[in-house]
Amino acid sequence: MEPDYCQEKKLIILNQMAGPITWELAEDLGHAVGQVALLTGHPDTLQKVDPNVELTAAPVYQRGSFPVRAFSWVRYWVAAFFWCWRYPAQTPLLLFSNPPLLIWLGYVLKKLRGQRFTVMVHDIYPDVLVRLAGFSPNHPLIRVWLWLNRRAYQEAEAVMTLGEYMAATLGKQFDPLQTPAGRIEVIYPWVDTERIKPIPKEDNWFAREHGQVGKLTVMYSGNMGLGHDIETMIDAAERLNGRDDIHFMFIGGGPKWQLVEEALARRHLPNVTLLPWQDEAVLPYSLATADVALVSMEEEMIGLMVPSKLIYSMSAGSEIIAIVNAPCELSEWPDVKPISSGDDQKLVDQIEDIAHDKRIAQKHNSRRIARRLFERAKNINQIESLLRFERKKEGAS
């Protein structure tokens, strides 16, 4: 169906890789306030249908080297610039930090059209380039990037991010008091707890297909990026190689996917299953297979990101073990068991303790926390209030 640019839109959402969180936000805001428009290159999201969400395809995000990624960011930025002019200037924008250059588009459109914009920051750039890609803080690219960010953020109606440590990092780039909101708003990632929930393994086709019925399944699901300590997980799997009742599953992709693949070939680990990214429809079943969910954040990434898969795993009822070396959201959220990076023996001890006392039979406590802190409706309502919408009148079209 071709987008109807003549119909009034209450909000324009820009996110090059609009995954489940962005789609759920678009759905709920569409039903609450009226039609919203979403421009994305995410192939799964572009297959979805909702009468209150107008989807338009955009250049897809290209994984790879920094120049490859940057080129795909610029392509999306240019497409979004021209696409936004199809709508009236009074239609507010909600910009996600994917691509990280997108905040500058909000600044440009506000100066050219007087268009209001709000920002949701999931990844903090250029800090990621400094900490992980080896850029000097004094590199001309980094200095210009920070200068542009400061000007753009201070023109936003509100700036939101996913955790307190991220807010502290972001607050070093600009003065939040200069925004109408007067502060950086923390909106935790959310999960649809009706969709992601515990499923007994004998009733779970994914668990049966991968031979996990009757075993304790330890799972890492998500991006295997440079900021994740996959090595400690593999070392723990090797230590537990002799236990037939404990099985590790790595699901996802990224730079360290090959590291797992090479370890399987080199170390002979029949207790490890490695799978690529799964279709979104598989997610409720794959996550519910995990009795123990592993999450990780390298020290360099603290304050730059929050792994949203943690929230999904809690909703599925999994025990959570976080590999972190310094205080962060992961180590401070309830019912998360932190261990130090590189301490594979401690990870083994934690897993064997869980296997021994059969806490997996409960699968209740982490789910209760997910419903209390990370419920979809509660967190999306926070965003709606920040966007200052007037709720649709009852019976309005």
* CA-wise closest residue to 198 among 293, 294, 322, 285: 285
Question: Cα–Cα distance between 69 and 73 in angstroms, integer?
Answer: 6
The whole-number pLDDT of residue 391 equals 41
158 and 271: one domain?
no
CATH number of the domain that 246 lies in? Answer: 3.40.50.2000
CA distance 219 to 251: 8
- Amino acid 386: pLDDT: 87
Residue 6 lies inside a defined structural domain of this protein: no
What DSSP state is assigned to residue 396? Answer: -
Q: Same structural domain for residues 130 and 36?
A: yes
Regarding whether 148 and 253 lie in a shared domain, the answer is no
In terms of domains, do 180 and 209 share one?
no
Q: Name the band, by pLDDT with cuts 50, 70 and 90, for residue 330.
A: confident
24 and 161, same domain (yes or no): yes
Rg (CA), the chain: 22
- What is the average pLDDT value for the chain, to the nearest integer? 90
In terms of domains, do 338 and 311 share one?
Answer: yes
- The predicted model gives 182-210 an average pLDDT of 94
- pLDDT value of position 306: 85
Look at residue 392 in the predicted model and tell me its pLDDT: 42
Question: Does 196 reside within a domain?
Answer: no
Same domain, 282 and 369: yes
- Check pLDDT > 70 for residue 397: no
Mean pLDDT of 50-62: 94
What integer pLDDT is reported at residue 364 of this predicted model? Answer: 63
Instruction: Name the domain count of the chain.
Output: 2
279 vs 18: CA distance, rounded Å: 15
Please classify residue 342 by burial: count the beta carbons closer than 10 Å to its beta carbon, then call 0-12 exposed, 13-18 middle and 19+ buried: middle
- What's the pLDDT at 131? 87
Judgement on whether residues 180 and 228 belong to the same structural domain of the protein: no
Which residues have CB under 8 Å from 373's CB, separation 6+? Answer: 188, 333, 334
Whether 393 maps to a domain, the answer reads no
| Residue 361 forms part of a structural domain | yes
| Assigned domain for 172 exists | yes
Residue 34 φ/ψ region, left for φ over 0, alpha for ψ in the -120 to 50 degree band, beta for the rest: left
134 and 226 both lie in a single domain:
no
Is the pLDDT score of 56 beyond 70? yes
Residue 37 lies in a domain: yes
From CA 88, how far away is CA 237, in angstroms rounded?
56
CA distance 170 to 329: 15
380 near 24, Cβ under 8 Å?
yes
- Which of 133-137, 200-204, 304-308, 353-357 is most confident? 200-204
* Residues whose CB falls within 8 Å of the CB of residue 125, separated by 6 or more in sequence, listed in order: 97, 100, 145, 149
Arithmetic mean of pLDDT, 170-183: 93
On whether residue 4 sits in a domain, the answer given is no
> Distance between CA atoms of 329 and 331, rounded to whole angstroms?
6
CA distances from 161 to 55, 171, 185 (A): 24, 11, 6
Q: Which residue has the tokens 């920040």?
A: 386
Task: Render pLDDT for 110-122 as a digit per residue (tens, 0 to 9).
Answer: 999 999 999 999 9
Q: If pLDDT is split at 50, 70 and 90, which confidence band does 285 have?
A: very high
- With a pLDDT cut of 70, the percent of the chain lying above it is 94
- Can you give the residue range of the structural domain that contains 116? 11-190+375-386
Written as one letter, the residue type at 129 is L
Determine the Cα–Cα distance for residues 276 and 252; give it in Å rounded to an integer.
5
pLDDT tens, 336-345? 888 998 999 9
pLDDT tens digits, one per residue of 229-254: 999 999 999 999 989 999 999 999 98
Asked whether residue 30 is domain-assigned, the answer is yes
148-158 per-position pLDDT tens digit? 999 999 999 99
C-alpha closest to that of 291 among 372, 215, 356:
215
Judge if 168 and 226 occupy the same domain: no
Predicted local distance difference test score (pLDDT) of residue 331: 78
150-168 average pLDDT score: 95
230, 303: one domain: yes
Q: What pLDDT does residue 155 have?
A: 96
Q: Are 235 and 181 found together in one domain?
A: no
